Amino acid sequence: MRRFATLMALGVAGLMMGVTATPAQAATGQVVVFSTEVTPLKTYENPEGCYSFPLFAHVLNNQTDATVMIHPDPFCGAPGMVVLPGFGMHVPEGYGSFSV
């Protein structure tokens, strides 16, 4: 019985790894960043990967079907804040990048 339980646990773990190990894809939609009233909006079409914020970035609007992370560093290396699809967020002063 113990052996059966061990085999079942390994099977479930293998199945879970297969489910969670799907390849990443580009998001469908746009990420739009507002900086100031005198600069045009910066639009990222079907974004994928890491992007540096434009100078004076103020608001990020996630119009994609994927979660966007706002990072405090310019290389998307530090943990960030989540922006769900269909939502926006003020970009904290000094934040440097976002990733999809």
* Residue-range domain boundaries for the chain: 26-99
Q: What is the largest CA-CA distance in the chain?
A: 71
Give the phi and the psi of residue 55 in degrees, each rounded to 5.
-55, 135
**pTM score of the predicted model:** 0.73
pLDDT at residue 2, as a whole number? 52
* Distance (Å) of CA 38 to CA 14, 43, 53: 53, 16, 16
CATH topology (fold) of 26-99? Gamma-B Crystallin; domain 1 (2.60.20)
Structure tokens at 98: 């976002």
Q: Given this model, what pLDDT does residue 94 score? A: 86
Query: What CA–CA distance (Å, rounded) separates 71 from 50?
Result: 10
pLDDT of the chain, 100 residues: tens digit per residue = 454 444 444 444 444 444 344 445 689 999 999 999 999 999 999 999 999 999 999 999 999 999 999 999 999 999 999 999 999 999 999 899 999 9
Beta bridge partners of 31: 44, 62
